[in-house]
Structure 1
Amino acid sequence: MREILALLCIFSCCVFLSQAQSYDDKRCKCICPSISSVTNSTETSHMARIMYITNVPPKKCNCDGVILPRIGRELQGKEQEFCPRCECKYENRNTGIIKVVVIIVIWVISILVIYMAFLIILDPLLNKRIKGSYQEHTNEDDEASAAGPMYHNMSLRGNVLNRVGHQQDKWKKQVKEQRRNIYDRHTMLN
């Protein structure tokens, strides 16, 4: 259990510390047609679009500030024909909040998985303890007076488990009855 929590802490620290160029909070994203659409070469298809992502100020988020420094030599003087076909958008996002939300979701899922494992382990123990300690009672007054206060303390401890087991058995019987009615008799319980 402690090992799992330690691994989750290490993982969450690594997520916070890792930052890459494509995950900057502020960036300029330009989508342009392929260079062959302007240069009339047949190397690539005319339908292909190329995405350029760069970290520049908002004023330089255009064809002149992002695309021409990269591919200006390949355009060979056809910049005026190529640039109007490009769409440039400046994006401002908060990756810190995104990371926090992802970590919270991972923690919640981890807690639910641990809880589910706990219930899976606990179910056979409850069923064994309840079925092993079950005795048919005919007259509770006689048994209570014969056993004395010791029986009373033990009954309080087992009372919760007995109630849970009784409700679980009752629910299982109702589910069996409902299935039998639906599939065999084609009727529903009220």
Structure 2
Amino acid sequence: MTLRKSFFLSFFVLFIFSFISDVNAQYEDVRCKCICPDTAVVNGTQSHRKLYIENVPPNKCDCTNVVLPRVGDDIKGKEKEFCPRCECKYESRNTTTIKVVVIIVIWIISLLVIYMLFLVCLDPLLNKKTTTQYQEHNNEEDESETHSQPLRASGAGVLNRVGQTTDKWKKTVQEQRRHIYDRHTILN
């Protein structure tokens, strides 16, 4: 059992370090984002907008420092007409927080998948022992007392209780089906 725990612990550590390692991303944590009209707008031919992104200090986040170095030749002499149409914003984001949130979401999904696989593997084991046919009963209180006494006496765990609850639910469903399809009545 300790070998399994150490295996899962080492897998967990390797998985975390694989996401935390230093990655050179395409985007920076800070940037200046300018949305400007297409250069053909100055000439009066189009009305599309273009996005210009540059990594500059906050005080240089404007059309002159971000957009004009890229499109200077296209709008030469019409800068005063072009730049007022640009909207520049300085953005800052924390990619470390984004990474941590993504890792947590992946781990939660992974744990749920592992739990689902555990339950899928556990279901045949629980259903294997319940091969008895359905017997109609009238008093549910007597049934619950007879099932709970051996459970307490034998010291069975949560697994047996889950199995018995599942069996009781399945019997209730079978009884409801029998009443609806065979007798054409609805249970209250």
What TM-score, normalized to structure 2? 0.71
Residues 175 and 47 (structure 1 numbering): CA distance in 2 closer, same or farther, change over 3 Å?
A: farther
Q: Say if 2:24 is the partner of 1:26.
A: no
Once the two structures are superposed, what CA deviation does each residue of 1:47-67 show, in whole Å capped at 9, x if it has no partner?
321101111111111101100
Q: Which residue of 1 aligns with 2:40?
A: 36
Partner SS for 2:130 = helix
Structure 1 position 168 matched with structure 2 position 188: no
1:3-152 paired onto structure 2 within 5 Å: 5=12, 8-9=15-16, 11-13=18-20, 16-22=21-27, 24-40=28-44, 46-128=46-128, 130-131=129-130
Q: 1:74 aligns to what SS in structure 2?
A: coil
Residue-by-residue CA offset, 1:95-148 (whole Å, 9 max, x unaligned): 1111101111101111111111111111111221x2369xxxxxxxxxxxxxxx
Distance of 2:185 and 2:50 partners within structure 1: 61
Q: Distance between the aligned counterparts of 2:175 and 2:43, measured in 1?
A: 76
Q: Kindly provide the CA deviation profile for residues 140-169 of structure 1, in whole angstroms up to 9, marking residues without a partner as x.
A: xxxxxxxxxxxx9xx726576544322111
Gaps of 5+ in 2: 1-6, 133-149
Distance in 2 (alpha carbons) for counterparts of 1:12 and 1:77: 49
SS state at 1:17 partner: coil
Write the distance in 2 (CA, Å) between the matches of 1:69 and 1:119: 61
**Percentage identity across paired residues of the two chains:** 57
Give 1 or 2: higher helix fraction. Answer: 1
Q: Root-mean-square deviation (CA), in Å? A: 3.2
TM-score (norm: length of structure 1): 0.70
Opposite residue 117 of structure 1, the aligned amino acid is L
The gaps in structure 1 that reach 5 residues or longer are 134-151
The letter for the 2-side match of 1:131 is T
CA distance in 2, matches of 1:106, 1:169: 34
Structure 2 Cα separation of the partners of residues 174 and 111 of structure 1: 31
1:146 is matched with which residue?
Answer: none
Residues 157 and 125 of structure 1, relative CA distance in 2, 3 Å threshold = farther
Give the letter aligned to residue 124 of structure 1: P
